[in-house]
Amino acid sequence: MRTQVGIIGAGPAGLMLSHLLHLQGIESIIIECRSREDIEGTIRAGLLEQGTVDLMKATGVADRMMREGHFHEGIELRYNGKGHRINLYELTGGKKVTVYAQHEVIKDLIAARLNAGGEMIFNVGDVSLHDLDTSAPKIRFRKDKDGELQEITCDYIAGCDGFHGPSRPSIPSSIRKEYQKIYPFGWLGILTEAPPSAPELIYAYHERGFALLSTRSPEIQRLYIQVDPNDHISNWSDDRIWEELHARLATRDGWKLIDGPIIQKNIVAMRSFVCDPMQYGRLFLAGDAAHIVPPTGAKGLNLAMADVQVLARALDAFYTSGDAEPLMRYSETCLRRVWKAERFSWYMTSMLHRHHDYTPFEHQIQLAELDYVTSSRAGSTSLAENYVGLPMEWKEKETVATLR
Ligand code: RFL
Ligand code: PHB
């Protein structure tokens, strides 16, 4: 097999990249180790930045999101039994965030690729990358996990295979610098059949630990609580989960959390991670393959979408005018945004979680930080600007150019 861009992984990064390349007349093949049903059913992210929504709209994959998504103009930060609204819309000059589940984005992108005759091979096994420092890099894999070995010869390879995929380790370790922080807490996430308890997301700091109230639809809600990352889900009965949620989200003004049957629950660990550079020879990493953020800032999927926009534009420059400069600068361009999202995600995580190793002094500093961001216009504007998503790098450049 031969293609222009071989894409490993059918997550948001791989699927959106393939979609963007198609719109630019560049062909690609996606290979994915899981089944279509599996990736379309995996519960993960829920919050899309304005830029991600704009991208989906501009490229014709937003119809269902516009009908079924929830558009929020603010979020609430809750601590000491009181809620404080951050008016994202007003503080950012009219930007919003959208709640629309990641697996729905995946379904929409797969449908768009199939409609356009795009090639996606699911259920592959034994994926490996070869000849990355030549002009004909190759991907080898087995169809249906253990079928015959197949090979795709490509002009370029996009490693969109998430944190555990084979792409990043294919960059020689002598070239790769990795930055990492492991947090001493995880999130227990649930889906529950209940109506929404609040019109907007609530991020709560409580001495028993962080809690987050999010939504999915008028009938299904998504909630999270901070737990020990090594804890086992079997230790968490539904009653125990609700008891914690009620305690951590309680206010002094009679607000009521509406509970219901829990239909899904799991625990995820939290880390921050960056791989620098995000490219080697003709391999380009995008999304979780290159960087991980803790979910408190809701940035992971959005960063993946930002990376592939940079990559699609760079590949377009190469194929239309032979200009390889944007490809050479891919890593540098992406990492500027990545580090700012890393900073924000780390900041939100540090501010909102209960740190069991903190001294009483440090707990007071945490409360002072919450008081500052919720009472100072400068503080809440900074949070709002980062939360809705910073502008894309080339847009920043355009702004600088206009100012000159
Ligand atoms: P993905 O989604 O992990 O997709 C990678 C794909 O590659 C496949 N793969 C392989 N394919 C072929 N061969 C191999 N050897 C392969 N190895 C792996 C995998 O099967 C998979 O299909 O990476 P991508 O595309 O970079 O997308 C990243 C996002 O999925 C991730 O950052 C977000 O889910 C993070 N995240 C959130 N991001 C947001 O922007 N907003 C949110 O509200 C948000 N909430 C969250 C989150 C992540 C969470 N968890 C589960 C960690 C909430 C949670 C709880
Ligand atoms: C979600 O709805 O899953 C969600 C929302 C906001 C976050 C993380 C996850 O920060």
Q: How far does residue 288's CA lie from ligand 1's centre (Å)?
A: 6
Question: What pLDDT is stored for residue 391 in this prediction?
Answer: 87
Give per-10-residue mean pLDDT for the chain (404 aa).
98 98 98 98 93 96 97 98 98 97 97 98 98 98 95 98 98 97 97 97 98 96 97 98 98 95 97 98 98 97 98 98 97 97 98 97 98 98 97 56 38
Report d(CA 315, CA 24) in Å as an integer: 9
Q: How far does residue 11's CA lie from ligand 1's centre (Å)?
A: 6
User: Which of 8, 31, 37, 102, when mutated, tests ligand 1's pocket best, judged by the most ligand atoms within 8 Å of its CB?
Assistant: 102
Q: Is the CB of 55 under 6 A from ligand 2?
A: no
Question: What are 403's two structure tokens?
Answer: 């100012």
Catalytic residue among 70, 95, 138, 299: 299
Q: Is the CB of 348 under 6 A from ligand 2?
A: no
Q: List the residue whose alpha carbon is closest to atom 51 of ligand 1.
A: 44
Q: Is the CB of 294 under 6 A from ligand 2?
A: no
Instruction: Specify whether 299 is catalytic.
Output: yes
- Length of the chain, please? 404
Q: How far does residue 133's CA lie from ligand 2's centre (Å)?
A: 39
Catalytic residue among 79, 156, 183, 203: 203
Encode pLDDT of 347-382 as tens digits: 999 999 999 999 999 999 999 999 999 999 999 999
**pTM for this structure?**
0.96
Residue ranges of domains in the chain, CATH in brackets: 5-72+95-179+271-355 (3.50.50.60)
